[in-house]
Amino acid sequence: MTAEIAWTPSKDRITSSAIAAFAGFLGTRAGRPVEDSADLAALALDDPEGFWNALWDYFGVIGDKGDAPFMTGDDMLSTRFFPGARLNFAENLLNIGADRDPEAPALVFRGEDKAQLTWTWGELQSHVSRLQQALNDAGVVPGDRVAGLLPNRPEAVAAMLATVSLGATWCSASPDFGARAVLDRFGQIEPKVLFATDGYWYAGKHFEIGQKLGAIVQQLPTLSRTVVIDYLGTAQKVADDLHNGSTFTAFESRYASAPLGFVRLPFDHPLYIVFSSGTTGAPKCIVHRAGGVLLQHIKEHALHADVKPGDRLFFFTTLGWMMWNWLVSGLARGATLLLYDGSPFHPGPEVLFDYASEEGMTHFGTSAKYIDSLRKAEFRSGPDHDLASLRAMMSTGSPLLGDGFDYVYSEIKQDLHLASISGGTDIVSCFVTGDPTAPVHRGEIQRPGFGLAVEVWRDDATLADGGEKGELVCTSPFPSMPLGFWGDEDGSRYRSAYFERFPGVWCQGDFAERRATGGFVIHGRSDATLNPGGVRIGTAEIYAEVEKFPQVKEAVVIGQDIGDDVRVVLFVMLAPREKLTETLSKEIKTAIRQGSSPRHVPAVIVPVADIPRTKSGKISELAVRDVVHGRAVKNTDSLANPEALDCFRDLPALRV
């Protein structure tokens, strides 16, 4: 099956892209022309050494590659890239030697309608310099951990850059996390310094976290200092109540801005620790290598998103989602980062498009859920929003369905590179992503990331045919593979997570399909796929039909064990004043039967008042399945709304 083309890039857009320029550079080195992105992808897999070396050189990575072989190791688990290299991640993002106007904006921030702030490149470097000195005096050295419990403000970016400039490792969470969820993360990695906030705004309301912060600090004995950023005007009071607490202003103001120094460390030095959602147990602490993240993010920003110096890059994210780490790397391309904290629907659905219009946004990153919510709110960008600068829109977090593509191109902007992308916390980047020089097909992700040998496999480890569903795998090593999990000394948990299903091959845990176009469709997480009558089906195919109904605000589907079989159960959260009538139930089942297959049709449709989501906004199908089967949910603190689980307990409709 080939999906219809939703957008085709112009010839000017293709020839002016970073892909075209880099392909020319790589072709010269390879001694043959590189015709297009497909040819570039093939060459990157045939000659990984040539590709990754060219990427380093063309985009001017600051550091020393060394004289060691490009890659060492006998298998994916033991592979090391650029083993002789020395670099610093922050040095490459700030890139002080680049032709950047110190008076030009580097960071623009909006906190709903409560706060606005802009830092120039010069101001960003000054803050990083002072924080670097303060952290150094606080005893932070390479290998230490520094944590952030912060909103998506400029101070968070500066704190991260100062941390990694010294060779310490950064980890972060969002201030709306509960105390237990924060301790489940930071308690494992024992930070030396904690950057926090006095509170945050959401949907027009302020939320103080001073009391929660005090409880967290008491249970992190390794902390030597807690630094509180003023958001609500109460930072001094919060800091005074903490052991070794100080405000952000007081912490950095003791130092004068000075030339920055950067500790250059090996390619594999730990840069970030990011955390899994943790709904099936304690969150995994995934350790990422500095060089791998840098190269992968430069590649994705430059080649897959076509981010250019001076562009204005936005992604709606919190510090609890790896897309924040991805967004911040846009500094390496010389882009201005547009930061936002708060509800994307306050005071109305237009708020982010007001931001886009007023700030000349070039790249709008968001989630499929947000796009669907805009569609159901019947939002249209209209003449009130000048989106002339907007060239690209990126969607991730869950599969972007065909209706989402239709909506963006009809109601947001026609001439727009809409890139559905998918990867994860596991690699802090993407396996399958966009291509600004190729057509966008409705409902599809355009291509694998350059340099990644992504395939779809059957359960018997054979290559699936085009259009056949299977497991998304990567068959060759790549630089952004994590170093491992924190505290997993023998590597057993790391091996079990990614290499147990197919020994020696990375298995991402996504149920996927490769189309005849070469694009991909993600049908959901493998551990959430349904298995009625022994046939695996993806949840995304059901959601694709259910989301067409305006009466349904949200839905979650699971497989319920019935004897030795499984039946499909669909839970729907209805729009205000709607009821699940017999007629509506039949219409939903008919749509699923006609749009997917008879096997997808739910045996039972059950109305619920709420649906649980993780802190990053993903529906927690596994938590619902555990509750329905009477099993304990191992880590409810990972959920944004754990009270929603009560809606699924002891439902008469599920009794057999």
pLDDT one-digit tens code per residue, 335-394: 999 999 999 999 999 999 999 999 999 999 999 989 999 998 999 998 899 999 999 999
Lowest mean pLDDT among 302-306, 573-577, 592-596: 592-596
The residues near 361 (Cβ < 8 Å, ≥ 6 apart) are 312, 314, 338, 355, 387, 389, 390
What sign does the dihedral 591-561-458-480 (CA atoms) show?
positive
Q: Alpha carbon of 355 to those of 42, 233, 635: distances in Å?
A: 39, 24, 36
Question: pLDDT tens digits for 31-43?
Answer: 999 999 999 999 9
Does 597 score more than 80 pLDDT? no
- The pLDDT of 508-535, averaged and rounded, is 87
Residue with tokens 């706060």: 115
282 has pLDDT over 80: no
Higher pLDDT, 433 or 596: 433
- Give the helix/strand (H/E) hosting 196: strand 193-197
CB-count burial class (<10 Å; 0-12, 13-18, 19+) for 195: buried
In the predicted model, what is the mean pLDDT of the chain?
94
Pair 542, 570: CB distance under 8 Å? yes
Confidence class for position 598, pLDDT limits 50, 70, 90: confident
Question: Residue 656: pLDDT above 90?
Answer: no
Residue 1 pLDDT > 60, yes or no? no
- Domain(s) labelled CATH 3.30.300.30 in the chain stretch across 529-654
Q: Where in the chain is the domain with CATH 3.40.50.12780?
A: 86-520
Check residue 223 and give its pLDDT. Answer: 97
Give 53-104 pLDDT, tens digit per residue: 999 999 999 999 999 889 999 899 899 999 999 999 999 999 988 889 999 9
Angle between helices 121-137 and 154-165 (to 10 degrees): 50
Give residue 615's pLDDT.
75
Q: Is residue 526's pLDDT more than 90?
A: no
Chain centre to alpha carbon of residue 117: 24
Written as one letter, the residue type at 287 is: V
Q: Which residue has the higher pLDDT, 35 or 594?
A: 35
Residue 277, pLDDT > 80, answer no
Nearest-CA neighbor of 444 among 421, 468, 464, 465?
A: 421
Please give the average per-residue pLDDT across 521-544, as a whole number.
81
Task: Provide the pLDDT for residue 534.
Answer: 67
- Per-residue pLDDT band at 427 (split at 50, 70, 90): very high
141-198, pLDDT tens digit by residue? 999 999 999 999 999 999 999 999 999 999 999 999 889 889 999 999 999 999 999 9
C-alpha 284/C-alpha 20 separation (Å) is 39
Query: Residue 280 above 80 pLDDT?
Result: no
Q: What's the one-letter identity of residue 399?
A: P
Residue 421, judged by CB atoms within 10 A of its CB (0-12, 13-18, 19+), counts as buried
* 292-307: average pLDDT: 98
Please calculate the CA angle 323-329-335 and round it to the nearest 5 degrees: 110
Is the torsion defined by CA of 331, 151, 483, 225 positive or negative? Answer: positive
Of 124-128, 253-257, 428-432, 617-621, least confident by mean pLDDT is 617-621
CATH topology of domain 529-654: GMP Synthetase; Chain A, domain 3 (3.30.300)
Return the H-helix or E-strand segment holding 373: helix 368-376
pLDDT value of residue 2: 62
CATH superfamily for domain 86-520:
ANL, N-terminal domain (3.40.50.12780)
Mean pLDDT across 106-135: 96
Q: Residues of the chain with pLDDT > 90: what percent?
A: 82
Q: In this structure, what are the phi and psi dihedrals at residue 473, rounded to the nearest 5 degrees?
A: -130, 165
How far does Cα 561 stand from its chain's mean position? Answer: 32
> Look-up: residue for tokens 């306050």?
346
In 3D space, the residue among 183, 190, 192, 115 whose CA is nearest the CA of residue 159 turns out to be: 192
CA–CA gap between residue 529 and residue 559 (Å, rounded): 8
- The predicted pLDDT at position 530 comes to 81
Residue ranges with strand state E in 3-154: 5-7, 63-64, 71-72, 80-81, 86-87, 105-111, 115-120, 145-149
The DSSP 8-state label assigned to residue 644 in this structure reads G
Report the pLDDT value the prediction gives residue 506, as an integer from 0 to 100.
97
Whether the bond into 347 is cis, omega within 30 of 0: yes
Distance CA 65, CA 341 (A): 38
pLDDT band at 281 (very low <50, low <70, confident <90, very high): low
Distance CA 313, CA 305 (A): 10
Average pLDDT over residues 307-324: 96
How much is the pLDDT for 114?
Answer: 85
Residue 461, SS3 per DSSP = coil
* Whether the predicted pLDDT of 544 surpasses 90: no
Is the pLDDT at 654 greater than 70, yes or no?
A: yes
Q: What is the mean pLDDT of residues 18-25?
A: 97
Q: Which two tokens stand for residue 154?
A: 């400029």
Residue with tokens 């299977």: 470
Cβ atoms of 450 and 506 within 8 Å: the answer is: no
Rounded-to-integer distance, Cα 631 and Cα 624, Å: 10
Is the model's pLDDT at 596 over the cut of 90? Answer: no
